[in-house]
C-alpha cells in the first residue's frame, strides 16, 4: 500500500431502517424491498431473511409476508469490505472551528455507495470537524468542514442557491463547440430525475425523448474555456446552485461530458451499468468565494492534471 492511503478493510456492518409507506399495503415484503433497493433482487432478499438479517417491528422475520403499511423494517447488514482510499490532504485554512481542506480524488465525503468508515467524515472524527457539504468521491479540491454545529449551519446556508456562495471548478470535458478561448457560456437547463436500472432513479440531463421525469431542480452554471487540446477542453465552471452532479450533468446536456465520465454520456444518455460514485472523470473544486472570504487551491495546469 502506497503512503497516504488507507488499505481496504472490513467494517463493522450497519443496520438500515425503513418505514413501509401506506401505499405499499398488500405488497409482498420481498418484492417491495427488491424495488426499493435495486442492487439486490428478490432471491437475494429471501436469502437474507433465511440468514436472520431482517426484523419487522422488532421481531425476526422468518419468511416473506404481506405488508400492511407502517411497519418498521431493519436489515442488519453484515460487515463488508470497503475499498482503499486516500487518507491525507492539504489543509487550506484552519482557525480552530472552520476547516477547509484540499480533498483528494477518490475519497468519499460521507457514508454511501458502499462506504461507511472509509470516508472523510470518519477520518475527521478525532478532530471534531464534520463536512458542511459534499463533493463527489472523485471530485478533488476545496471541501469546507466545521467543528461547531453553529458554524456548520451557517456555512450550509451559504451553499444554498440563495446563499450567494460562488464555487469555481476546473474541468476537462469533451470539446464544447459553442465555446472559444476566453468566451463564456451560461447553462440553465434543469437537473432532472430519470429512471436507472440499478438505482431506480438518478439525477441527469433532460432526455431528448418522452422518458419519464420524476423531479426537476433549477440549476445555473457559467462555463469559460481556458484551454483547448487534442484531448479535450479545460474549462472553468462557476456555479451558485450546487445541484447533485450539476457540472457533470450540464456538460452532458451540452453534448460534451467530462472526459472519462462513465455515467453521463454523449447525446444526454445515462449508462445503465455505471453509478454516480464511479470514477474516471476530471473535476476539481479550486476556488470558493462567499461572505467576503476566498479560498483557493493550486490552479496551475500541471498540478491540476496530477490531481486527476
Q: Tell me, what CATH number does 266's domain have?
A: 3.30.2350.10
Number of H helices, E strands in the chain: 6, 21
Name the grid cell of 38. Answer: 435495486
3-state SS track over 238-296: EECCCCCCHHHHHHHHCCCCECCCCCECHHHCECCCCCCCCCCCCEEEEEEEECCEEEE
Strand partners, 174: none
| Window from 23-32, 144-153, 262-271, 282-291 with minimum mean pLDDT | 282-291
Domain range for 172: 166-307
Q: Are residues 181 and 247 in the same domain?
A: yes
Q: Are residues 115 and 228 in the same domain?
A: no
Question: Could you give the count of Cα atoms lying within 13 Å of 108 in the half-sphere of its Cβ?
Answer: 18
Looking at the domain assignment, is residue 5 inside a domain? no
Looking at the domain assignment, is residue 185 inside a domain? yes
Q: Are residues 295 and 172 in the same domain?
A: yes
Looking at the domain assignment, is residue 53 inside a domain? yes
Domain count, the chain: 3
Residues 37-85 pLDDT 10s: 888 999 999 999 999 999 999 999 999 999 999 999 999 999 999 999 9
Across 252-280, average pLDDT? 95
State residue 1's pLDDT score. 57
> Given pLDDT bands bounded at 50, 70 and 90, which one contains residue 307?
very low
Query: CB within 8 A of 118, min separation 6: which ones?
Result: 6, 9, 11, 82, 83, 84, 85, 108
Name the grid cell of 125. Answer: 472524527
State residue 3's pLDDT score. 79
Looking at the domain assignment, is residue 261 inside a domain? yes
| Window from 64-73, 221-230, 286-295 with minimum mean pLDDT | 286-295
Query: CB within 8 A of 19, min separation 6: which ones?
Result: 70, 71, 72, 73
Crossing angle, helix 42-50 and helix 29-36, to 10 degrees? 120
Looking at the domain assignment, is residue 150 inside a domain? yes
Q: Are residues 19 and 68 in the same domain?
A: yes
Q: Are residues 172 and 128 in the same domain?
A: no
Q: Are residues 135 and 17 in the same domain?
A: no
pTM more than 0.85: yes
Q: Are residues 289 and 260 in the same domain?
A: yes
Tally Cβ neighbours within 10 Å of residue 296: 15
Q: Are residues 97 and 39 in the same domain?
A: no
- Which of 130, 159, 188 is the endpoint of a domain? 159
Q: Are residues 104 and 76 in the same domain?
A: no
Q: Are residues 282 and 253 in the same domain?
A: yes
Q: Are residues 144 and 245 in the same domain?
A: no
Looking at the domain assignment, is residue 3 inside a domain? no
Secondary structure class of 117 (helix, strand, coil): coil
Looking at the domain assignment, is residue 286 inside a domain? yes
Looking at the domain assignment, is residue 2 inside a domain? no
Phi, psi of 153 (to 5 degrees): -65, -40
Bridge-based pairing state of the strands 140-146 and 283-290: parallel
Taking the CA atoms of residue 146, residue 115, residue 19 and residue 52 in that order, the dihedral angle to the nearest 10 degrees is -140
- Which of 81, 108, 129 is the endpoint of a domain? 81
**Dist. CA 206–CA 17, nearest whole Å:** 32
**Dist. CA 108–CA 231, nearest whole Å:** 27
- Which of 159, 185, 214 is the endpoint of a domain? 159
Q: Are residues 16 and 106 in the same domain?
A: no
pLDDT over 90 for what percent of the chain?
82
| Domain CATH number, residue 44 | 3.10.290.10
Within its chain, how far is the Cα of 48 from the centroid? 28
Amino acid at each position: 500500500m502506497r503512503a497516504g492511503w488507507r488499505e481496504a478493510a472490513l467494517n463493522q456492518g450497519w443496520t438500515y431502517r425503513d418505514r413501509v409507506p401506506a401505499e405499499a399495503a398488500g405488497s409482498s415484503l420481498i418484492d417491495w424491498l427488491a424495488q426499493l433497493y435495486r442492487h439486490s433482487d428478490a432471491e437475494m432478499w429471501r436469502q437474507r431473511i433465511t440468514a436472520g438479517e431482517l426484523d419487522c417491528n422488532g421481531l425476526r422475520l422468518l419468511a416473506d409476508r404481506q405488508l400492511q403499511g407502517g411497519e418498521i423494517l431493519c436489515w442488519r447488514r453484515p460487515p463488508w469490505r470497503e475499498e482503499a482510499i486516500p487518507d491525507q490532504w492539504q489543509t487550506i485554512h484552519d482557525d480552530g472551528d472552520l476547516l477547509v481542506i484540499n480533498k483528494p480524488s477518490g475519497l468519499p465525503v460521507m457514508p454511501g455507495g458502499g462506504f461507511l468508515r472509509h470516508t472523510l467524515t470518519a477520518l475527521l472524527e478525532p478532530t471534531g470537524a464534520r463536512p458542511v457539504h459534499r463533493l463527489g468521491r472523485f471530485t478533488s479540491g476545496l471541501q469546507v468542514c466545521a467543528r461547531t454545529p453553529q458554524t456548520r449551519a451557517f456555512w450550509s446556508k451559504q451553499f444554498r442557491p440563495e446563499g450567494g456562495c460562488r464555487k469555481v471548478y476546473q474541468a476537462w470535458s469533451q470539446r464544447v463547440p459553442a465555446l472559444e478561448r476566453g468566451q463564456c457560456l451560461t447553462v440553465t437547463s434543469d437537473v432532472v430525475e430519470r429512471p436507472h436500472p440499478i438505482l431506480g432513479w438518478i439525477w441527469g440531463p433532460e432526455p431528448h425523448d418522452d422518458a419519464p421525469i420524476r423531479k426537476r431542480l433549477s440549476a445555473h452554471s457559467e462555463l469559460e474555456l481556458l484551454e483547448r487540446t487534442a484531448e479535450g477542453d479545460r474549462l472553468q465552471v462557476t456555479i451558485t446552485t450546487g445541484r447533485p452532479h450539476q457540472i457533470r450533468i450540464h456538460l452532458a446536456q451540452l453534448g460534451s461530458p467530462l472526459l472519462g465520465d462513465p455515467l453521463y454520456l454523449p447525446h444526454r444518455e445515462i449508462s445503465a451499468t455505471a453509478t454516480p460514485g464511479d470514477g474516471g472523470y476530471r473535476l476539481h473544486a479550486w476556488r470558493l468565494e462567499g461572505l467576503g472570504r476566498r479560498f483557493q487551491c493550486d490552479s496551475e495546469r500541471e498540478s491540476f492534471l496530477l490531481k486527476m
